[in-house]
Amino acid sequence: MKIIKNGNPFGAHRVIEPKGVLPQPATKISNDMDAIYDNEILVDVETLNIDSASFTQIKDSVKGDEEKIKAEILRIVGERGKMQNPVTGSGGMFIGKVARIGPALEGKIDLKEGDKIASLVSLSLTPLKIEEILGIKKGTEQVNVRAKAVLFESGIYAKLPADLPETLALAILDVAGAPAQVAKLVRPGHTVAIIGAAGKSGVLCAYEARRRAGVTGRVIGLEYSTEAVKRIKEYGFCHQAIQADAANAVDCYEKLSAATGGKLADIVINCVNVQNTEMASILMCKDEGTVYFFSMATSFTKSALGAEGVGKDINMIIGNGYTKGHAEITINILRESPVIRAAYEKLYA
């Protein structure tokens, strides 16, 4: 394999267009796997975990036809050199086996060839070349593939834990930033509202919020369907479950206001993968409180101008998928909670 010297640590050397940007905002990057730069890691990819907002958009656009979902993923990767949904802008992550470590990184990282890893950077910036899509795991966003990917020098990853099935580790590490941010934001006595509290990231957030808010705090979960509300109650991490449509801001506000005696929430966590949920999040948050938008369907424009329009003085955080210690925090939740582990193993393992 050819090795090219002096790769940019942030991957700018892979950008084809437009020039001058980094790989994430680029519309096309090089996914040439016949040569790697001396500061890149080449990985044989086994499974992609497509971002929930992205997978939902693709699935809905082809009315759930699995072959058309595969074709759309191949089309996007073929055009862009990476798995970045042009509608949602989001990607996902992968698990695979380290195939080659660039000589400039040897001795500087805790990896060796053959190690199994999960990428902790988005597929929306990761050079990816898919040879074949083998199948899609039913009920999940996991796509089994034969593919190759490149991690840049600045890229982050996690070695797969020995005590968890690989596909389970992939599923939770894809949303590891959410519960880790909750751990930073929630304090004892806080009232926390979680939109999408029965979803993959929402359950982890509810668990962490319950622990951080303590005996004087309160965690309230919101979900759209009767079945999802039932799951919130079965998990048992929320003090109260509310059925509401997050796209109906006034309804969410009125229901949460009633549940809190008009006090609203100190922290609102948005974990849903649908559009137009910004205003529900904003209205449910008390003045000088915080809204954490983990959802990749969030619009900055709608959030900023919407908060201004209703006179809300609140802190709004865009969900950074990376927080220090996020992989360890999230994996530890599965080790601590037999309820979550059993539910996730049933779905993902």
Q: Among 131, 160, 189, which residue terminates a domain?
A: 160
| Domain-located, residue 205 | yes
**Shared domain check, 73 and 24:** yes
- Distance between terminal CA atoms of the chain? 35
Q: What percent of the chain has pLDDT over 90?
A: 80
pLDDT beyond 70 at 222:
yes
| Domain-located, residue 275 | yes
- Per-residue pLDDT averaged across 54-80, rounded? 96
Q: Which residue from 114, 132, 137, 111 is spatially nearest to 50, judged by alpha carbons?
A: 137
**Shared domain check, 186 and 131:** no
| Residue range 296-320, pLDDT digits in tens | 788 999 999 999 999 999 999 988 7
Which pLDDT band, with edges at 50, 70 and 90, does 295 fall under?
confident
Asked whether the beta carbons of 129 and 83 are under 8 A apart, the reply is no
Which pLDDT band, with edges at 50, 70 and 90, does 138 fall under?
confident
**Shared domain check, 198 and 53:** no
| Domain-located, residue 349 | no
pLDDT reported for residue 167? 82
Which pLDDT band, with edges at 50, 70 and 90, does 165 fall under?
confident
Q: Which residue from 112, 98, 104 is spatially nearest to 13, judged by alpha carbons?
A: 104
pLDDT reported for residue 296? 78
pLDDT reported for residue 322? 77
**Shared domain check, 113 and 240:** no
As for how many domains the chain has, the answer is 2
Domain at 277, CATH number: 3.40.50.720
**Other CB atoms within 10 A of residue 104 CB:** 17
Our CA angle for 244, 247, 253, nearest 5°, is 55
**Shared domain check, 184 and 129:** no
**Shared domain check, 332 and 187:** yes
pLDDT beyond 90 at 115:
yes
Q: Among 160, 192, 226, which residue terminates a domain?
A: 160
**Shared domain check, 322 and 225:** yes
Q: Among 160, 189, 214, which residue terminates a domain?
A: 160
**Domain hosting residue 185, numbered range:** 177-343
Output phi, psi for 244, to 5 deg.
Answer: -160, 155
pLDDT beyond 90 at 24:
yes
**Shared domain check, 136 and 193:** no
What is the three-class DSSP state of 23?
Answer: coil
pLDDT beyond 70 at 349:
no
pLDDT reported for residue 319? 80
Our CA angle for 251, 253, 256, nearest 5°, is 105
Determine the Cα–Cα distance for residues 262 and 222; give it in Å rounded to an integer.
Answer: 17
**Shared domain check, 189 and 87:** no
pLDDT reported for residue 179? 93
What is the pTM (predicted TM-score) of this model?
0.81
Asked whether the beta carbons of 81 and 16 are under 8 A apart, the reply is yes
Q: Between the CA of residue 349 and those of 33, 56, 215, what are the distances in Å?
A: 30, 21, 33
